[in-house]
Structure 1
């Protein structure tokens, strides 16, 4: 099946202030976040993306637009080659009454320790559970992946621009990890994680990368059997 690049949005004004933005409208990338997104777009510029799927929230749509603009800079390509698709299934977790509050204050709440140690048991007051968040986000990513395979073939590469907890939950599913272990995964602003949904199992190629050549993805081919002994690895072009 195709390869999905899981891209977290760049740093926002809320991130810089230590605020849990959640689904608050109008949260945009700050100057650092725009630079982070541009660097990530440069890394991905040599990879022909069949589409960029994004959370509907503004910070993700900004990041997605930067990715597509750099795709348009490839010789012989244009913006239409990488359409932006808005997907509500990968929108931010509904943190309910936690939304808009300072992280330093949330850390004093009794629920905070459960978020850290047993996420599967957490339902945010007035919001959704982390289990619901994972179920919808994984379903959305797998649905798009199957659709892009049907449309573009098994060697297609696409990007999903989403949020930290969303990407961590998708990676946990791909790794076969229980949701209670997903806090062991780090996903920084504008980082790229790579998953390939093969015929037997998902293959997690990379997590939380913020540098490095990705041009090898142009000719990586579809995921297949795992090489015994680890194989020779990807060769940058």
Structure 2
């Protein structure tokens, strides 16, 4: 059976550079969502899931307007979060990231992503093409999970706004990363969201 996860980071948010925790898509974010919708228009999706945050829900609405067979369903499992805390084997260069992160945030993120992996990265008895519209760190965690990498390896993986990552889930073998942060559908002026000076 075929089971594919299509992971899409939300489009650019209005005034995201001013530190607003959530908000509507910018004009550029709307264009990004329209472009990824056109890119995926021929995929026979069986379900669509979205983070409940506004920027993700708006991206999901724009995308699924062109996919009348599916309706995006909000789920807290795709919320923006800190997927895991520091570990003894984590390089010291990553430590500053955790300076303002609380133990409660880490525990909540770890529990959320354990449930998300259990929900979507399990083999299916039927052919499935599932669309997940979510956030940078969440997608990073799914990619790390696909490789079975150490928990800290989600750090340093980044996805542009409306970049496309595809994972194939298999029953008898490890998952396969088909593509990561594919931006082929976005012209240069719509490629936003990657940090210019990455702290990692």
TM-score (norm 2): 0.76
- Which residue matches 1:204? 177
**Correspondence for 1:194 among 148, 161, 166:** 166
Contact kept, 8 Å, 1:56 with 1:91, in 2: the verdict is yes
Change (3 A) 1:42 1:141: farther
Encode CA deviations 1:136-169: one digit per residue, 9 max, x unaligned. 235324414559x35xx1x210110001111111
Match of 1:136 in 2: 112
The match for 1:234 is none
Is 1:33 the counterpart of 2:10? The answer is no
Q: 1:203 to 1:37 in 2, by over 3 A?
A: same
Aligned equivalents of 1:173 and 1:119: distance in 2? 23
The residue aligned with 1:44 is 40
- Distance in 1, matches of 2:176 and 2:114, equals 14
Q: Deviations over 1:183-236 (max 9, x none)?
A: 232211011100111122111111001226xxxxxxxxxxxxxxxxxxxxxxxx
| Contact 1:194-1:206 at 8 Å conserved across structures | yes
CA drift of 1:55 comes to 0.5
Tell me the SS of whatever aligns to 1:201.
coil
Distance in 1 (alpha carbons) for counterparts of 2:164 and 2:110: 19
- How many equivalent pairs are there? 176
Q: CA deviation at 1:179?
A: 2.6
1:181 equivalent to 2:165? Answer no
Structure 2 unaligned residues grouped into runs of 5+ = 83-90, 186-200
Aligned mates of 2:36, 2:134 — CA distance in 1: 14
1:71, CA displacement in angstroms? 1.3
Give secondary structure in 1 for the equivalent of 2:105: coil
Larger radius of gyration: 1
> Does 2:71 correspond to 1:83?
yes
Which of these residues, 53, 57, 79, is aligned with residue 57 of structure 1?
53
C-alpha distance 122-176 of structure 1, shift in aligned 2 (>3 A):
farther
Distance across 1 between alignment mates of 2:108 and 2:92 = 14
Alignment partners' CA distance in 1, 2:178 and 2:115: 20
- The CA deviation at 1:122 is 7.0
| Contact 1:91/1:162 (8 A) holds in 2 | yes
Aligned equivalents of 1:115, 1:60: Cα separation in 2: 32
TM-score normalised by length of structure 1: 0.65
